[in-house]
Amino acid sequence: MTEEKDISCILCPNGCNIKVKYLDDEIIEIEGALCPKGNDYAKQEIKNPMRTLTSSVMVEGGDTSLVSVKTDKPVPLEKVMDIMNVIDDLRVNAPVSVGDIILDSPAGLDCSIVATREVKIKN
């Protein structure tokens, strides 16, 4: 049986409301997005929702005790907690620069954890 879902796009502040009709994984009709990225997003939401995870990692010897991090690409929503569990145990040493790779393939996923701020060595 075909199903219908209203999806709020998270890609930009427009937050388009996209209506999708689908049968299992097959998209039958899709409307409401202001751009093609919205259509791709809605299709992905039906198949397997993907999210960029942002969090923080403990730093040793830095001028702050945490460095903010993100996954360098979206990961399956259902795997987000697996990555959080890995991040909880991580420690890095200062200094850290924006874009530094903190960890490759967390929880065996195809992504890296990268730093989103700089942390200097504590004076």
45-48-51 Cα angle (round to 5): 75
1 vs 79, which CB is nearer to another protein?
79
CB of 49 to another protein, least distance (A): 7
Q: Are 34 and 16 spatial neighbours (Cβ–Cβ below 8 Å)?
A: yes
3-class state of residue 29 by DSSP: strand
CB of 105 to another protein, least distance (A): 20
3-class state of residue 16 by DSSP: coil
5 vs 28, which CB is nearer to another protein?
5
CB of 19 to another protein, least distance (A): 14
User: Which parts of this chain interact with another protein (CB under 8 A)?
Assistant: 7-13, 15, 17, 49, 51-56, 58, 64-66, 68, 70, 77, 80-81, 84, 98, 116-118
Instruction: In whole angstroms, give the CA distance from residue 19 to residue 12.
Output: 17
DSSP assigned state of 47: H
1 vs 93, which CB is nearer to another protein?
93
Instruction: Using alpha carbons, select from 73, 71, 84, 19 the residue that is nearest to residue 45.
Output: 19
22 vs 115, which CB is nearer to another protein?
115
CB of 89 to another protein, least distance (A): 13
